[in-house]
Amino acid sequence: MAEFTLEDLKELLGTQSIPGSPEELEVFADWTHGLVRSRGKRYVRKHRKRLFRDWESLRKFGLSRV
């Protein structure tokens, strides 16, 4: 499968703004790409609000601790 880019992530989630540093956004893109591979794009689109909430929690908790 081709590389999953930040632009792919933004398009899939229907936004142009995702909070986070470049390193954090790379983690979020990898995480979301894994969900796309395992559950499909439809799942990610349907649950994008939850994914954003989870992402904010991970950022607040600290990605280095995960």
pLDDT in tens, 6-19: 899 999 999 998 88
Greater pLDDT, 4 or 36: 36
What does the H/E/C string look like for the chain? Answer: CCCCCHHHHHHHHCCCCCCCCHHHHHHHHHHHHHHHHHHCHHHHHHCHHHHHHHHHHHHHHCHHHC
Segment 7-36 shows an average pLDDT of 91
pTM: 0.80
pLDDT computed for residue 1 by the predictor: 47
The share of the chain scoring above pLDDT 90, in percent, equals 48
